[in-house]
Structure 1
Amino acid sequence: MKKILIYAHYYFPDVASTGQILKELAEGMLDEFKVTVICVVPSYSGVIEKEYKQQNYYVENINGVKLLRVRVPEFKKNDKISRIKNILSYFIRAILITFMIGPQDFVFSISQPPILGGLLGVLGKWIKRAKFIYNIQDFNPEQTIAVEYSKNRLVLKIMMVLDKFSCKHSNLVITVGRDLVQRMDIRFKNRNTPKTIMINNWIDEKNIYPLSSENEKIVTFRKEFGLENKFVIMYSGNIGLYYDLENLIKVLKSFRKGYTHSGIWEEGPKTADGRDVVFAFIGAGSVLDNLVSYVKKHQFENIIFIPYQDKENLIYSLNAGDVHWCINAKGIKGVSVPSKAYGIMAVAKPILGVLEKGTEIRCLIEDTCCGICCDPGEYEKVKENIRWFIKNASTDKIEKMGENGRNYLVNNLSKDEAIRKYKEAILKS
C-alpha cells in the first residue's frame, strides 16, 4: 500500500473548513494509502486547551489516520504579529517532525498557511524523495492583494515568487474551481504552466440533508436564538476579511427593526404570512467584533450573532435558515471558492449570492437555478434580491430553488465522487 504524508495545518476537531475536508479526504483514502497527517494541536480559535500545552508533539490516531500534532503559540485573530508567530511555529515544527517519520510515496499539502503550505510540500518532497501534490484552496498573494491585507509591494512580490516556486516543483496542482484553474494560466502567462486540474470541494451529503422545520432539534435551535416564527436569512461560516461583510451589514439598515437614535420605532419587513425577517450570522472571525459594534451602535433588533456550531449540530443550524448568504469580496474571482455553498445545497436551501461573474460557485448557482446572484459591490442589487426572497417567502419558488441545489449536489458533487477523483489523480501524478 502506498504511503502519503498530508500537511493539514488545521485538522479535526478544529472547525476550519479545510480541516474538515482534509479529515474526510484522509479517511476516504485509507483503502489506497497509509495516511499520516502533520497538523497543529486544536487551536483554530486561537486558544489551546491545557492538555495540549505539555509537549511539543502529540501522536494520535483518528479512524485509522495517524496524526502528528505540533504545539504552536496561542494567537488573536486580529493581531498580525501573534498570527505570524503561530504560523511560523507550525512551519518549523512540521519540517522537524517530517525528518522523524519513515519513507513516503506522496506528499500532499494545501495552500494553508498562505505561501508556507506550499513550501512545506516542496520541502517534504525533497526530504522524503516523494511526489508532491499541491492542493490550492486559495491563491496567495492574490487573496492578500484583493482584500488589501498588505500593501507592501516587496512582501507581495516575494510571496508570489515563493508560491510560484511551490507550483513549479509540484508533480500536480489540484484546485477547487474552474476559475482557479484559469488563475494558474494567468500566473504563468500561459507559458510552462504546471499541470493543474480541478476537483470540487464537498459536504457529506449523507450526513447533511434537508430536515422538516418541525424537527425537534431545529425547533430547539430556533428557540434558543430567538428565531421562532421568523424568516431567517443566514450567514454561516468564517466572519473574516474575504467577504465584504462590513459593507454588506450596512445594506441591512434598509431592513432594520429597532429604535432609531431619535426614539422612533422601525417595524422592519415582514413576509406575506406575517413573519418578521431576521438576519443570523453564525461563526467567528477577524471582523466579527466590528459587525457586533455596528449592530449595537444602530440598535438592530433583527440581527443575531450565533457562535460556531459543532459539526454534529451543523445539519440543524443550516436547516434553521430559510435563505443562506454565499459571499466573496470583489477581486476574489479565481482566487478562492466559498465552499459553504455545498452545505447550503445539501440542506436544500436557496442561496443569496454576492459573487463575481465566472466564479465557480456563481456558475453553479446560475446553472442549477438554486439561488439569485449579483456582483460584489452592487449593494442596491443586494437589497433588491433580499426583497425578492422576502416577497416570495410564502411561495414554492424558494423551495424549488433549494431542491434544485440538493439534486445537483447529490448527482454531481458527492463526497465519494470527489474523493475518488483525488485518489485517481494522486496515483497518476
Structure 2
Amino acid sequence: MVDMMKKNEKKKLLIYAHYYTPDVASTGQILKELAEGMLHEFDITIICVVPSYTGKVADEYKTKMFYKEEINGVKIVRIRVPEFSKSNKISRIKNILAYFLGAMIATFKVGEMDYVYSISQPPILGGLIGVWGKWMKNAKYIYNIQDFNPEQTMAVGYSKSTLILKSMLWFDKFSCKRSDKVIVVGRDMVETLENRFKGKKVPKNIFINNWIDEKEIYPLQLDEEKVFAFKKKYGLENKFIIMYSGNLGLYYDLENLMKVIKKFKDRDDVAFAFVGEGSIRNQLVLYKDNHNLKNVIFIPYQDKAELIYSLNAGDVHWCINAKGIKGVSVPSKLYGIMAAGKPVLGMLEEGSEARLIIEGTNCGLVCEPGDYESIESYINWFIENARSHEQIDMGTRGRDYLVKNLTKDVSVMKYTEEIKSC
C-alpha cells in the first residue's frame, strides 16, 4: 500500500525563478505560466525574490528574510533583497548577490526534490544556483538558458575585462556540464551552445520556443472601449502608433533608434510610444527633451491584465536587438506582437530565431541591426500604407502561425516531457 501511494505521488520540482509573479519581468511571467501548467505532473516549489522588479520593495516584505506563500497551487519561498536602481551597477550587484545567497539558504527550507530547474537569470548565477540545488537535493537538474552570458555582455560592451568575461564563460559552461539537460529558446541558440564546446561533449540539449497565452492576448478593434481609453489617456487618439513594448535596456540599440525617430519629429499624425521601464529610460527621455520630440511618448509598464489593450493600441510594433545578440537571446516581445495580430518592424540579425519566424510567416518587415536607412524606409512605408490590407494581413499571418505553433499549451507540454525524461 505504501509503495502504491509513493508511485501515485507527484514528483517534486524546485524552480529557481529570480523574479516571479506579480513582478512584470518577462521571465517571471513565463515561469508562472510554466509552473501552473505543469501542476498536474509535479509538486512545484518556487524560490524567488520578493516583488521588486522595479527596484522598490513593498513595506510588507521588509520585516523578514524569507516569506512563504502559495499562488494558484504553486508553493513559493520569497527572499528579501535590498532595493536598487537599474541605472546604478553597484546597487544592482548587491541586489543580485542577496538573491543568490538567499536562494542557497532557502534551498534547505524546501525539503526533498526530484528535479531542480533554473534559468539563466541572473547571468551566470542562475546556472550556479541550479547546480547547487542539484547537489543539495541529489536531484536531476534542468538548465533553461533564456540568454547566453557572457556572450550577451560582450555584444553590448557592458564589460571589457577579459578576466571577468573568461571567468563568466567558465562558470556558465560549468553549469551546462553539470546539468542533466539544457533547454534553449531559439534554433540559433543551439548553435551557440555547440560552439561553446567546439562540438565536443556538448551537454544534452533541446530547443523549445517561449510563448504567450493566446487566450489572454488576442486582436481587438481599435475602437474597443479599453483600447480607446488607453490611447486617450496618453494622447494617442487619431495617431498612427509605432510602439515599443518591453524592457528599455542595453540590448536593443534604442539610443541609436531615437536618432532615426528624430527624422519624423514633425509628423503630428504619427506617435512613437515606448511602454516599459529599464536602465536606459532616462537617457531616452533626455534625448526626447533635448531634441523636442513631441511625438515620442513614454508610458509606464502595464499590468498583465492591461497588456492586451496597450498591445492592441499600437498599429506597428518594434522587435529589435543590438548587433551580436543572434544566438544569445530571443526577444519574447515578438510573441505578444503576433498574439495581438500586429505587424512587426524588426531590426534583427539574419538567422536569429525571431527573424526566422518573421520572415517565415511574412508578418512584418525586418533588416539587420544598424541598418538605419532601411529602418527609416520601413517607417515611411508603414506610415504611407497605414492600416492597409497589406499591413492587416501581416498581423493576421503572425497570429495564425502563433496559434498553430507557439501556444502556451504546446510549449508547456514540451517542457513537462523533457523534464520527466531526465
Shorter-chain TM-score category?
Answer: over 0.9
Which one of 2, 10, 13 corresponds to residue 4 of structure 1?
13
Residue 22 of structure 2: which of 9, 13, 20 is its match? Answer: 13
Letter in 1 for 2:13: I
Q: For the residues of structure 1 that align with 2:126 and 2:388, how far apart are their CA atoms?
A: 47
Deviation at 1:186, TM superposition (A): 0.8
Residue 109 of structure 2 aligns to a residue whose secondary structure is: coil
Question: 1:244-259 to 2 correspondence within 5 Å?
Answer: 244-257=253-266
DSSP 3-state at the match of 2:54: coil
- Give matches, 1:205-284, under 5 Å: 205-257=214-266, 268=267, 276-284=269-277
CA distance in 2, matches of 1:11, 1:31: 20
Which residue of 170, 187, 203 corresponds with 1:194? 203
Q: Aligned match of 2:141 in 124, 132, 144?
A: 132
Distance in 1, matches of 2:109 and 2:75, equals: 14
Amino acid at match of 2:338: M
Distance 1:179 1:64 in 2: 35
**Quick one: which of 282, 289, 305 aligns to 1:296?**
289
Q: Is the 2:134–2:140 Cα contact (8 Å) retained in structure 1? A: yes
- Residue of structure 1 in register with 2:346 after alignment: 353
Distance 2:344 2:255 in 1: 20
- How far does residue 97 in structure 1 lie from its aligned partner after superposition? 1.1
The residue number in structure 2 matching 1:261 is: none
TM-aligned CA deviation for residue 54 of structure 1: 0.5
Are 1:159 and 2:168 counterparts? yes
Amino acid aligned to 1:383? E
Distance of 1:288 and 1:253 partners within structure 2 = 16
For residue 71 of structure 1, what is the amino acid of its counterpart? R
Inter-partner Cα distance in structure 1 for 2:384 and 2:195: 42
Amino acid of the structure 2 residue aligned with 1:215: E
The amino acid of 2:78's aligned partner reads R
Percent identity for Structure 1 against Structure 2: 64
For residues 394 and 80 of structure 1, do their structure 2 counterparts lie closer, same or farther at Cα, with a shift above 3 Å needed? closer
The structure 2 residue matched to 1:175, chosen from 164, 184, 198, is 184
TM-score by length of 1: 0.96
CA positional deviation for 1:392:
1.1
Query: Aligned letter for 1:384?
Result: S
Within the candidate set 258, 280, 290, 1:287 is matched to: 280
Runs (4+) of structure 1 exceeding 6 A deviation are: none
Instruction: Give the aligned CA root-mean-square deviation in angstroms.
Output: 0.6
Output the amino acid matched with 1:382. I
CA distance in 1 between partners of 2:261 and 2:416 (Å): 44
Deviations 1:319-368 (A, max 9, x none): 00000000100000000000000000001000000000000010000000
Q: Distance in 2 between matches of 1:118 and 1:170?
A: 9
Residue in structure 1 matched with residue 120 of structure 2 by the alignment? 111
Give the CA deviation at 1:253. 1.5
**Structure 2 counterpart SS, 1:87:** helix
Deviations, residues 271-328 of structure 1 (Å, cap 9, x unaligned): xxxxx01100000000000000000001111100000000000000000000000010
**Residues 1:372 and 2:365 are matched in the alignment:** yes
Report if aligned partners of 2:142, 2:419 keep a CA contact under 8 Å in 1: yes
Alignment counterpart, residue 420 of structure 1, candidates 401, 407, 413: 413
Say if 2:68 is the partner of 1:75: no
Corresponding letter in the other structure for 1:380: E
**Structure-2 separation of matches of 1:200 and 1:327:** 18
C-alpha distance in structure 2 between counterparts of 1:416 and 1:189, whole Å: 34
Counterpart of 2:107 (choices 76, 98, 109) is: 98
CA contact (8 A) 2:315 2:387 kept: no
2:43 aligned residue (34, 58, 69):
34
Which amino acid is 1:149 matched to?
A: Y
Q: CA deviation at 1:394?
A: 4.1
1:228-273 CA-to-partner distances (Å, cap 9, x unmatched) read: 011000000000000000001111121112xxxxxxxxxx27xxxx
Question: Match for 2:90: what amino acid?
Answer: I
Residue by residue over 1:89-135, the C-alpha shift from the partner in whole angstroms, topping out at 9 and shown as x without a partner, is: 10011001101221100000000000000000000000000000000
Mean CA deviation greater in 392-401 or 353-362 = 392-401
Post-superposition shift, 1:12?
0.3
* 1:399 counterpart letter in structure 2: I
Change (3 A) 1:354 1:102: same
Residue in 2 aligned with 1:318?
311
> What is the TM-score of this pair, normalised by structure 2?
0.97
Please state how far the C-alpha of 1:196 moved relative to its aligned partner.
Answer: 1.1
Q: Which residue, out of 331, 335, 338, partners 2:328? A: 335
**Equivalent residue of 2:69, what SS?**
strand
Unaligned 5+ runs, structure 2: 1-9
Whether 2:34 is the aligned partner of 1:25: answer yes
Amino acid paired to 2:55: G
- Partner residue in 1 for 2:403: 410
- Compute the displacement of 1:214 (Å): 1.3
- Opposite residue 171 of structure 2, the aligned amino acid is L
For residues 243 and 23 of structure 1, the distance between their equivalents in structure 2, rounded to whole angstroms, comes to 25
**Residue of structure 2 equivalent to 1:393:** 386
1:99 match: secondary structure: helix
Q: Which deviates further from its counterpart, 108-117 or 383-392?
A: 383-392
Letter in structure 1 aligned against 2:176: C
Native 8 Å contact 2:321 2:347 kept in 1: yes
| Counterpart-to-counterpart distance in 2, 1:412 and 1:394 | 26
Q: Which amino acid aligns with 2:202?
A: T
Aligned residue for 1:262?
none
Quick one: distance in 1 between partners of 2:400 and 2:110? 43
Structure 1: give runs of 5+ residues left out of the alignment: 258-267, 270-275
Query: What SS does the corresponding residue of 1:166 show, helix, strand or coil?
Result: helix
In structure 2, how many angstroms separate the alpha carbons of the residues matched to 1:251 and 1:165? 42
Separation in 2, partners of 1:230, 1:333: 33
Answer whether contact 2:330 2:353 (CA < 8 A) is retained: yes
